[in-house]
Amino acid sequence: MSSQLQISQCLKISVFIFVLVSVSISVVESITSPSDVRALQAFKASIKSSSIPSYSCLGSWNFTNDPCAVPRTYFTCGILCDGNRITQLSLDSPGYIGRLTPLISQLTELVKIDLGNNKFYGPIPPLNSLTKLEILILKFNYFSGSIPPSLTLLKELEIVDLSHNVLTGALPESISSMNSLTRLDLSYNKLTGSLPKKLPSNLIELAAKANSLSGSLTKSTFDGLAQLEVVELSENWLAGAIEPWFFLMPALQQVDLSNNSFTRIEIWKPTDMNSDLIAVDLGFNSIEGYLPANFAAYPLLSSLSLRYNRFRGRIPLEYSKKESLKRLYLDGNFLNGSPPDGFFNGGASVSSGSLGDNCLQKCPVSSQLCLKSQKPSSICQHAYGGKPRS
């Protein structure tokens, strides 16, 4: 009785070991999950075969073989497997032409998608089942339609680069719930509307250059963004005032708001003289008033452009005394008076820039900074309320 029991147990154990061994062999062979294989097949099928060179990643995808099988005779690049699941879809860029199939959403273990620098077109399909996705790079394609709001449900997404496409519509308001998002690049699209009421709170880099965004910069949008280092919103239709809170954001380093329609600016000195701000470009707006002397209180500021606005009055002495300041562009305004001597006698640190196309007196042409000539006096007299000469 007991020996029979032992034999049957022994049998069970050896069957168990056999199963274990064969399972681990199949793991080594990496038999790809059938639904992942179907999704990859659909993905390749939606790309024009004439745009798939034989030397390319997709050219090596041969579905008579298993995608995750090792050694990799086929599927030599484009995917990464973990066990039997696809975790990365990172293509090369020979110029694949096609749509992105919605079936991509079946690759539910994907951590990274990079289809950059190809010719994908059509909408970005809903990706809400890709709950592990951390990186989404679709830059330099022809994706159209709006940014799918379902994208904002992906709570692991850290990096989103949709730049250089033809996306339209507004940024989804629900973007504020993307708590992992640190880098967002939407530059060079056709986005409209204003910035969302609230941006994701862990954002480090916000870029939406060259779109058609309008409205103003409101405090609530940027509230609590304690890590925001880069703001790149040039070439849009943003308007209104740049208020003191903006440059007081604690981690801010680089700001480009050039080529918008801002009309006013107010700058406060940084709290405790503590700020990482290095570069500011506010050129080509319609900002009126005096140059904000308080910029000089930002300890690391090394590049400042306020060119082609409607600034008037004198150049603050502080700008010429600021040691960190290397590039200074103030050309194309209505600045008057004599510029501080420091700019010309080696007292200032500024080594490049321009003070030209203003209403300055005594800008010595021997100085690089004064190469561009000043405005005709008739324009300056008009700007300062004098009667233009007839």
Q: Footprint of ligand NAG on this chain (CB under 6 A)?
A: 62, 64-65, 235, 259, 284
Which of 266, 364, 258, 338 lies closest to 303, judged by CA?
258
Q: Look at phi and psi of residue 336 and say left if phi exceeds 0, alpha if psi is from -120 to 50, else beta.
A: beta
Nearest distance in Å: CB 295, ligand NAG: 21
Nearer to ligand NAG among residue 74 and residue 142 (C-beta): 74
Residue of 221, 220, 219 whose CA lies nearest to 206: 221
| Shortest distance (Å) from residue 60 CB to ligand NAG | 8
Give whichever of 200 and 283 is closer to ligand NAG, judged by the CB atom: 283
Q: Answer for the pair 290, 312: CB distance below 8 angstroms, yes or no.
A: yes
**Residue 222 is encoded by which pair of tokens?**
């940027």
Contact 382, 359 (CB under 8 A): no
Instruction: Name which of 100 and 210 has its Cβ closer to ligand NAG.
Output: 210
User: Could you tell me which of 382, 337, 343 has the C-alpha nearest to residue 359?
Assistant: 337
Nearer to ligand NAG, 62 or 352 (CB): 62
Minimum distance of ligand NAG from residue 260's CB (angstroms):
9
Beta 261-265 vs 288-290: how paired, if at all? unpaired
Q: How far is the CB of 283 from ligand NAG (least distance, A)?
A: 7
Please give the Cα distance from 279 to 325 (Å, whole number).
9
Among 214, 217, 265, residue whose Cα is nearest residue 238:
214
Nearest to 123 by CA among 151, 95, 96: 151
* Cα angle value 210/215/217 (rounded, 5°): 90
**Least distance (Å) between residue 73 CB and ligand NAG:** 7
| Least distance to ligand NAG, CB of residue 235, Å | 5
Smallest gap from residue 64 Cβ to ligand NAG (A):
4
DSSP letters, 2-39, are: HHHHHHHHHHHHHHHHHHHHHHHHHHHHT---HHHHHH
Q: Which is nearer to ligand NAG, 165 or 187 (CB)?
A: 187
**Nearer of residues 153 and 239 to ligand NAG, judged by Cβ:** 239
Q: Which is nearer to ligand NAG, 332 or 339 (CB)?
A: 332
Give the integer Cα–Cα distance in Å for 149 and 167. Answer: 13
